[in-house]
Amino acid sequence: MFVEYADNPMPMVASKRDSFSYEPIPFHSTSHLTMMGNMYNDTTTTPLTPPTMWLPAQSTAAMTHDEWDSLDMAICDLLLLETPPTLTIDDCGFVCTSPGCLRRVRNPGMACKTHTSAKKCQLEGCTRPARHSNYCNSHGGGKCCIVEKCVNAAQSQGLCKAHGGGARCTFPRCEKSSQGGGLCRAHGGGKRCTDPGCTKGVQRGNKCATHGGCRTCTVPGCGRNDRGAGLCENHRLERQCTATGCKRLSHAMGMCRPHLRQARNQL
């Protein structure tokens, strides 16, 4: 900034010590603050008034120091409320259109992830949202792996975990699925048995199957090991999937979830 003095026609650079070389904070009291109008052509001073965005909607005049203090106290009281006021779309931006839901969404008129699907699963008695079909994920909805004859659910890029979908092991040259911590089981991923000296993977209760991590069949009088869903190999046959060669338990309509998903995707 240049300033011309009466006894020296040559322009001089204003020192940082000059009082007008600093701009005052716009929302402080205006009783003793002034600012330059046009610092290059006009040397007259004009009173500084708070910007209109800080003023109440019903006022356009400059606020006094006491008025600013009152406004600050009102804001503090609002922030210290034990029960926050009910928020609306005007208060916190774009919120879910579902009644009573205040989750944020990207655009107005949208619903959150929980309330996105207006289409419900067609299976009688199920209230879950349908996913990529007329059924929920549990009853055959969702997408299958794009690999031919694979019935597993797609995790990412259209592939299931077995064919490269989902998170992978970060160990060099390892392409196995990550089981935890970015590593597969072979490279330390997943939980380990807590029995001293055992490095096997956990089955149940922080123990491997050898050290008590397995359970017995839930059928009365049967002492065989549980092979899933509380049933041994013999008692699983009664609830086995009807698809040829499948040993999974049926989930609905006599089929396991993967084969049920495959059947839904073929419709």
- Tell me the pLDDT tens digit for each residue of 155-211: 888 888 888 888 889 999 898 888 888 888 888 888 888 888 888 888 777 888 788
Q: pLDDT at residue 41 above 50?
A: no
pLDDT of residue 80: 58
pTM: 0.38
- 124-142 pLDDT, tens per residue? 778 777 777 777 777 777 7
Q: Is 180 helix (H, G, I), strand (E, B) or coil?
A: strand
Q: How confident is the model at residue 30, as a pLDDT?
A: 44
Per-residue pLDDT for 39 more than 50? no
Question: How far are the Cα atoms of 36, 126, 201, 204, 207 from residue 188, in angstroms, in the given order?
Answer: 68, 39, 9, 18, 16
pLDDT at 164: 86
Q: How many residues does the chain have?
A: 267
How are the residues of the chain apportioned to helix, strand and coil, as percentages rounded to the nearest 5? Answer: 20, 15, 65
Q: Output the pLDDT for position 82.
A: 53
Express each pLDDT in 75-128 by its tens digit: 656 665 555 555 444 444 678 887 888 877 777 777 776 666 557 777 777 877
Name the percent of the chain lying above pLDDT 90: 1
The whole-number pLDDT of residue 35 equals 43
Residues 226 and 236: their CA atoms lie apart, in Å, by 10
Does residue 258 have a pLDDT over 80?
A: yes
Q: What pLDDT sits at residue 107?
A: 75
Q: What is the pLDDT of residue 36?
A: 42
Residue 18's pLDDT is what? 47
Which helix (H) or strand (E) segment is 13 a member of? strand 8-13
Largest CA distance in the chain: 113
Mean of pLDDT over the chain: 70
Share of residues in the chain with pLDDT > 70 (%): 62
Q: What is the pLDDT of residue 153?
A: 80
